[in-house]
Amino acid sequence: MKLKVFLIFLLIFFKVPAQSSINIVVFPSLRNIDFTSIIPSNELQNNVRIFCVEISPQGQQVYIKGLFEWQKVGSNSFVELGNFETKNFTSRNFCNDELGSQDISIKKFSSNRDLIDENLRIGVPSGVYRITLNLFDSNSQTLLAQDTEELTFLNPSQTLQIINPKIGLTYDPGNVIIDWTPLNGADFYSVKVNRRLNPNQSLEEALNLGTPLVNDRNVGAVTSVNLRNILERELEPGTEVVVQVTAHISGPFGGNRIFSPIINFYIQGQNVPSTNASYFRLMNSLRRLQNSQLLTLLENNQINISEIRIRKDDGSFMSLEELVDFLESNSENILRIETE
């Protein structure tokens, strides 16, 4: 009888330690994101949310060592892009954009700048990217659990781009149509519009300053909207306007958002010089050429027409009108135009 009581006592007071686990959750739709969301940078802070981490049990003192690797298309092996180690923290679920926060701060971080620059030159994710996380006990420094997740990009990735308005062009205030490319997995899109008060403001600063003309308006699952229909304040003639479209994607941990580049354009007014006629003449001239990089940049809203600079032999720059006149009068003698 005494033996039985003793065994029951042991069963009550002797607890088997819970098995630790760590699980990386990558958003399926993020296999189409733009490359800069994958590369570890800025000590991992302010990154786009691309994966979340589930840790069990929670409330324990732990730290994490992480590794980012890349396998080029056609290669059989991975190379290291970067690695990090957190300081000790109380285990909980979190996402990558929380790394570097107050309770999950970074102790060590390093990256291979040459490989990152090589990826940036490619411009879109390519090959296979591998994320490995190791969970350690803060006291004993023993490895508790490990998880690895791979993202494969065999084809060019899809990004969110504003098609219209065109950068730097002037539009009638009642006829501004905002078009953008569709993004797979997006549940809905939102649009933010604001004024740019002076050219010294960055586009991002202008977008987020004061009360926007359109404040992250949910426009549904469409890829086109008339600005007039969503304005919250009236457009003034001569205004420079900045726009950004955001794709909202559902998923674990609150889902994710993919942002388009911010573009700028103008509303007709007495003080706004119209470049529309020169723009369309330039586009027609470029379409007659083969493999024009400049045409691609303009069509994809990746360059402002006002940023085009052609240096002449005497060191001065051509005006846009001079460039268009030159292209139209020498169309048969120009094979292609490339950016430096």
The Cα–Cα gap between 216 and 224 comes to: 15
Q: Which amino acid is at 5?
A: V
Partners of 170 in beta bridges: 266
The Cα–Cα gap between 14 and 262 comes to: 60
DSSP state of 34: -
Angle at 109 between CA 104 and CA 111, to 5 degrees: 140
DSSP state of 30: G
Cite the DSSP H helix spans in 235-317.
276-287, 293-299
Least Cα distance to 35 among 44, 48, 53, 51 occurs for 48
**What local confidence, expressed as pLDDT, does residue 190 receive?**
95
E strands in the chain: 21-26, 51-56, 61-71, 79-86, 89-90, 94-95, 106-111, 127-137, 143-153, 162-164, 170-171, 177-180, 188-196, 214-220, 224-226, 240-249, 256-259, 263-267, 310-311, 317-318
Complete domains list, the chain, with CATH:
18-153 (2.60.40), 162-267 (2.60.40.10), 276-333 (no CATH)
**What local confidence, expressed as pLDDT, does residue 280 receive?**
63
φ/ψ region of 131 (left if φ > 0, alpha if ψ in -120 to 50, else beta) reads beta
Return per-residue pLDDT of the chain as tens, 340 residues. 443 433 333 333 344 456 888 888 876 554 445 555 555 444 555 456 778 899 999 999 999 999 989 888 667 899 998 899 999 999 999 888 788 777 888 888 888 888 877 766 555 667 788 999 999 999 999 999 999 998 776 544 557 889 999 888 888 888 899 999 988 778 999 999 999 988 788 888 899 888 999 999 999 999 999 999 999 888 888 888 999 999 888 766 566 778 888 999 888 876 555 555 566 677 667 766 665 677 777 666 666 666 666 777 777 777 767 777 777 777 665 655 555 5
Angle at 68 between CA 63 and CA 72, to 5 degrees: 165
The Cα–Cα gap between 272 and 280 comes to: 18
Tokens 């369309």 -> residue: 280
Note the pLDDT tens digit of each residue in 152-195: 765 445 578 899 998 888 888 888 999 999 887 789 999 999 99
**What local confidence, expressed as pLDDT, does residue 1 receive?**
42
Maximum CA extent, the chain: 109
Q: Using CB atoms within 10 Å of the CB of residue 168, give its burial: 0 to 12 exposed, 13 to 18 middle, 19+ buried.
A: buried
**What local confidence, expressed as pLDDT, does residue 15 receive?**
44
The two tokens of residue 98 are 């929380």
The Cα–Cα gap between 21 and 59 comes to: 13
CA distances from 270 to 145, 237, 267 (A): 66, 8, 10
CA distances from 61 to 25, 54, 88, 89, 100 (A): 22, 15, 6, 6, 17
**What local confidence, expressed as pLDDT, does residue 270 receive?**
61
- Count how many Cα atoms sit within 13 Å of the Cα of residue 79 in the half-sphere of its side chain: 14
The Cα–Cα gap between 241 and 170 comes to: 10
The two tokens of residue 327 are 């292209």
